[in-house]
Each structure stands twice: as structure tokens, then as C-alpha cells.
A and B are shown apart, each in its own frame.
Chain A
């Protein structure tokens, strides 16, 4: 196993890109369809709930500073049950990664290159991910730092340029139908930005220097807050500029938003800026899903040279990505009815169960010690 250590600044960058993830340009649509003009409140609710999730994850990671999430599961739940849970977790990770690859292919074939086969786009994306993992976590962490600066710069620039189109009236009335739709609206945000954070537990305590763990917790929180603010700003801007109805109807509201940019005559159609942001964030997101699945599988099978399964797994993901969703309606159905319970189980229930098991085990061993 490689003993790569990353700095807390790198962890911050990773968390930030990971939180923005696949959702940057899509999530405003799902949130607005449920919460209407109050989608921005949903984002705040989700972000606050996310603080609990972050605390839970870092606490769980802090219990075993030299073990990944997968190893912790196996340690706490035993060989067979743990093995089963890990196997399903690996499946979810690889499946999730394939879903993101599908998003990329779908986005480019519907928006820009309608005549290019989706498969080509998917395969190129998977190739780049496999190259990244082949280069190792160290290179990925450093690249995340570079991406971090690019994302921040591009995002701020595009949001700044779209500012002249703001119409404040779009967010009124606030809380028209009470709090329930707002809470409902935070569900997609939880499913795509907050709960998947558990996957970062595959790198969080293991690849951090023991002395830096306190620092790392802080920087993880920092990255989370920056990422959530980007999500929040994109939702707010969508509602400000487009209004909740259009935001809910458009498939990629933030791209639609940046198409509105019209500064002078020459600064038009600058949606490429936000597409760059999205490509980078979804790349990092897919990368860590795949990394978690691939590392989890190699730890489950106790492989010594874990890079050997990289290429086969990449091929499998490339194939899955092509048939993971039949169509866009199927995808929307899946995301609301299947993905949410699934990620809720792995991102929230499983960590809580693990903590309970840890407590029970500790009490048991404590009793034994007392008896001795």
C-alpha cells in the first residue's frame, strides 16, 4: 500500500471540489422544482445538516487514524457481514462514478456536440480518470490545488459578469408554502453534495500526517464551506436571474444562466467558463468515487499490487456508464427514488451504525479489562 501523505491545504481543495462535484450546474434545477423560489433556503438547511455529517465522518475517521473507511467497516462488522457491506459499498461507488460519467456524456451530447457518439466522450473521461489514479493520490492532490484556484477564479468571474441581469423580485415571496417544501428541496442537495462526503473517509485519516489531523479537520470544514457557498451562490443567482420556474424547467440552469452574460458586445456566451468549472469538479468527484471503489475492492480482496485492477475496473466503468441510465426521465426517477435512499444508507445510517458498534465493542472490552 502506498504511504502517501497529503497536506491539509490539499485536503481542503479536494473537499471543496468534491462538494461542488457533479451538482454545480444541475442541482439548482432539482432544488427549485421542489422548493420553488425558496431553494436558497434549502441550500442553507442542507449546508447546516452537512455540518453534522462532517462531524460524524471526521469523528469516525479519527477513531482509526491508520485505516480507511472500508477497513473500519470490516474491523467493526466482522469478516462476513463487513465483507458484504464493503462489497455493496464498492458497487455503489463504481456505480456512482459511472453515473457521473454518464452525466458528462449526456451534457456534451445534448448541449454542444450533438453528432458525437456519447461513448467516445465517456471513454475519454474514463481514460483520464484511470490516468489520474495511475499517477497516484499525490499527483491528484496537487492537481486538486491547481483546480481549486481555477474553479474559484472562473466561478467568481462568471457570477460577476452575470450580475447585471439580477432581478431581486424573483425570490419573493419567501416561505410562501411553509417550511415543508424547503426541507423537501434540501433532499437533492443532501443526496448529491452532503451525504457522499463519506467517500472522502477513504483518504481522510489515512493519507494525512498524524500531527496534522486537527488541522486537517479544520481544512476539511473550510473546503466544505467554500464548496457549499459555491452551490449556494449558483442557486441564488439562478433564482435571481432566471426565476424559479425557468430554473426548475431547465436541465442545466447554471449553464443557461451564464448564457445570459452580455457585457459589451464581445463578452457574450461565456458559458464555457462555468463548463470548465463543472468539468473540473465533476472530474474530481468521479475520480474519488472511482478511487474509493477501486481502493475498497483491492482492500476487500487484500491485493498487494492494487494498481493491477485499475485497468479492468476502468473498462468496466466505461461500459457501465453507457447503459447505467436508459434516458433522462429514467435518470431523474433513479436519482429521486433510488439514489437518495442508497446514499442515505451509506452516508448516514452506516456511519451511525458503525459508531454504535464501536461503542458496544468498547464497553465489552472495557468490561473484560475490568474483570481481569
Chain B
């Protein structure tokens, strides 16, 4: 088949003269070509008209009806007619293109060109294309319709205090939201196009002078190397340009909130916006970031530090509690204080399963409930809760299948799991928890230790765009730990995170000059 295709392609190439690619002076010819290219789509509108009703200069407006704003379309067609009427003294029709361009470029985004392929590209991106009889250039005017929902509060990242607006599906609105936060000349926006079929716009936003050049270049390189037919969310990009493709740890932060993204930009990170999704990626992302929320910076620093400690505890609990419990019950009963041991033993007396099976049963049921709850219509949601509470909490215990200690263990694990702010990180920890449970069931605490050592080694190995994942802790950066587990007050966080930001200028009440000694301090591996 491929062979045949090649032949037909070759034939086409031989048949078509070079001029076919270009626009001819004849309007009808152009229109047929475009119709062929776009497969005579039913939403392709072609308006022929003439300057004076049946005589005079002929011109045509072509557009895809579903992409353009029909309210402004009528204004445009009247304007166009007036303009062409008012300029009867132009001798050559060739000049009409330039005249129109001069007129419209004053207040609309428009462009000129002379190739059919360009015409098609303009049409599918929501422009109106105008041909004038006898003119071998086309004029395209951006008339893209505003199809977007309003700026709403983010659904997945809710906060108590702080800005409540969230990104939308439109990339230009999103960039506007960021610009609204950072009114700086140094804010740069670079557009790339990813996806051979979808041609999705991907914007890189960063602050010149704060961003580290190597990181920016690396991201640009990696994105430009993506070869895929289409992308619909930052997740595609994340997966394609990850440092360690097989790791389950997220190495890109995603946020629905402009203030979080603006904060990341200020620290020297690069934001990756994808058209059509309200989730904006920021990179490089470090491990500690997944335990921080934008709200941390709006509350008192001592309170925030306490909350962050609480999240660290949540991480440890959700990771270790089921595994350690299984290990203790199965192998190391002597380590449990005697009073507690007697109580647990009494509860587990009639339970037919070993601790590992019991734990797996309960954890799996909980994960099932959680998974089912996400896609449940809102009306059925409460019913789910009742089933979960009754089946998990009571019936299983009363039936003697599960001990009530295990219910408590699973509940602690679940609550602690929700304490991790990032959904991605919480999913990762969920998976690792099961692995640790298996290790505990087979080899007791020794298995848990070994699993943890491998986990630490793995996390230490990870990098996000060349920056070690555990950066301010390992490799340790002197003075870099002011925004990790504890949040220091703003007046003491003088410098931007080393290794991420390319500048060593002070952030607060400092002069913007960089002394060599500071620069040395910021170097790290």
C-alpha cells in the first residue's frame, strides 16, 4: 500500500506545476483549490461579491463558520465593501492587497501571503481570508470566536485565603492572567506548536533575567523534539520530556491557579501553557514543591511551618502505617507494647486471614471506593459514602472478616493520603504504599527498610530538567532550606532558590547588585 501511495504522490508532484501552490489571479480557481484542500467542509463559507452590485471588482471572503465570530463578520463585510468602493482610482488590481492590508492592519491582526497552504492554515486557525480579483495575494484577518467559559474558581485546587481565580481553557486568557499578576517588562512569552495533526499552541512563559538559561534552553530543546500527532493537556508534554521516563514520581508541577504559577515564575521557573487546558505546567519541579500550596505564603509563617510539618507527617503516615502494621503483626509482635498487643490479639482472634491479606483487602476496597467516587454523578455520591461507611466500617468487622484495628489503620492511611496537597504525588505514594505492604508481609521490618532504601535512592537519582529532585536537602544548599519543610518569613528569604534561578540578586530589601561571593554560594551540584 505504501508503495502505491508513493507512486500516486510522485504522480501528483509531476502533474502539478509550481504555480499550483501559489494563488492565481483568478478567484474561482483559488476557491476550487481551497475547497479541494479542505475537502469541501460543510462549515466552509464562501461569500462572492462585487464592489458595485453586479459589476465592478470581484472579491471573495472565505471563512470557517464555526471558528469565527459571526457578530463581527457582518461589520467586516460592510467595511470591506466600503473600502473597495472608496478606492476606485487604483489602476493595478495587484495593489488592492496592500491597500486592504494597510487599512485593516491598523486595528485588526492580519497578514498577507501568496500560498494555498498558508491560506488553509489561516482558515483552520479562525481567520477570514479575502481574495481580490486580479490580485495574487491573499489577506487574512483574525476573527476567532471567543469560545470560553468565564474565569472561575479552580475546582481541583481550592484554598481558603488568596486569589480565587483559575485558569481557563483558552491560552490567551491564561497568559493574560499571568501578565496581570506580573507587570514586568521582562516577562517573556514564546509560542511553540506541538502535534503534527492538532497543531496545538504551547507557550513558554518565563521572566528574563531570573530564569536560568540552561534550563530554558533544555525545555525548548525537549519540546521541539516532541513528535506526536496531538496533545490535549500538559500531561502529554510532561510524559514526553521527563528526565526519567519510567519513574512514577511527578517531575513537573501543575497548577490551575495564576498566583501559584506567577510565584513559580518569580523563583525562576518556566511555565508551560498548553492551549485547551486550564492546567499549567511549571518546571523544574522539586520534591518539596508537591507538599506546598500557594496559600502557604498568604498565612502567618509559623502557622504555615506547622502545617507543612503536618503534611510531612501525613506523607510518612500514608506511606508507612499499613506496611509497618503488617510487619509488626506478622513478624515482630514483641515490639508492640504488651497492653496494646493483648487488645489487638483479642480483636484478631476470629479473623481468618493473615494480616497482609487483611490489609490488602481493606486498602483495595478503599481505593475502589475512591476511584468510583471520582466519576460518580453528584447525586449518587452520598449513597457511595453510606455504602463505604457501613460496609467498611461496620459490617466487615461484625462479620469477623476484618479486625477493627485494620479499619483504623486504613482510615489513618486514607486521611493522611488526602493530606498531601498534590494529587499526582498522592497517587505515587499510594502505589508505593502497596509495594511496601508486600515487602512487610514477606520480610517484616527488614523488607520495609530495604524498600525505603530503594525508594530514597530512586528519589535521589531523579532530576527535573537537570535539577536534582531533592535539591535543597540533597544536595544540601547552604541557606537554601528556608522554604522547604519550614517556611521562613519573607524578610529572611533573601535569595531565590539556588540551582533553579539564574540570578543571585536579592529578592527583598536588597540592592540588585550581585557580588562574586554570592554567585559562588549559589553554585551547587
Contact = CB atoms under 8 A, between A and B. Distances in A.
Decide whether A and B are members of one complex: yes
B475 interface: yes
Given A9-B476, A135-B458, A279-B449, A113 B444 contact: yes
A135 B457 contact: yes
Contacts of A121: 443, 446
Contact of B443 (A120, A268, A269, A271): A120
B463 to A, nearest CB: 9
A158 interface: no
A4 to B, nearest CB: 9
Contact of B470 (A112, A142, A271): A142
A108 B474 contact: no
A7 B449 contact: no
Contact of A276 (B340, B449, B461, B475): B449
A301 interface: no
Interface in B302-321: none
B434 interface: no
Contacts of A266: 337, 340
B516 to A, nearest CB: 14
A113 B444 CA distance: 8
Interface residues of A, number: 38
Contacts of A120: 443
Nearest to A125: B450
A272 B335 contact: yes
B495 to A, nearest CB: 18
Interface centre among A10, A142, A147, A272 (most CB of B within 10 A): A142
B339 A142 contact: no
Contacts of B447: 124
Contacts of B443: 113, 116, 120-121, 124
B72 interface: no
B337 A272 contact: no
B476 to A, nearest CB: 5
B524 A7 contact: yes
A139 B460 contact: yes
Interface in B416-467: 443-447, 449-450, 453-454, 456-458, 460-461
Contacts of B227: none
Contact of A112 (B444, B458, B473): B444
Contacts of B444: 112-113
B445 A146 contact: no
B337 A269 contact: yes
A108 B445 CA distance: 10
B166 interface: no
Given A113-B446, A132-B457, A143-B460, A7 B335 contact: no
B450 A128 contact: yes
A254 to B, nearest CB: 16
A272 B456 contact: no
Given A7-B475, A113-B443, A265 B457 contact: no
Contacts of A113: 331, 443-444, 446
A179 B14 CA distance: 101
A9 B445 CA distance: 30
A145 interface: yes
B334 interface: yes
A112 B457 contact: no
A68 B277 CA distance: 52
B458 to A, nearest CB: 7
A5 interface: yes
A369 B460 CA distance: 49
Interface in A125-143: 125, 128, 131-132, 135-136, 138-143
A136 B445 CA distance: 26
Nearest to A4: B525
Nearest to A209: B525
9 contacts: A6-B525, A7-B475, A10-B476, A113-B331, A121-B443, A135-B461, A142-B474, A269-B334, A272-B335
Interface of A: 5-7, 9-10, 108, 112-113, 116, 120-121, 124-125, 128, 131-132, 135-136, 138-143, 145-147, 265-266, 268-269, 271-272, 275-276, 279-280, 283
Interface of B: 331-332, 334-335, 337, 339-340, 443-447, 449-450, 453-454, 456-458, 460-461, 468, 470, 473-476, 524-525
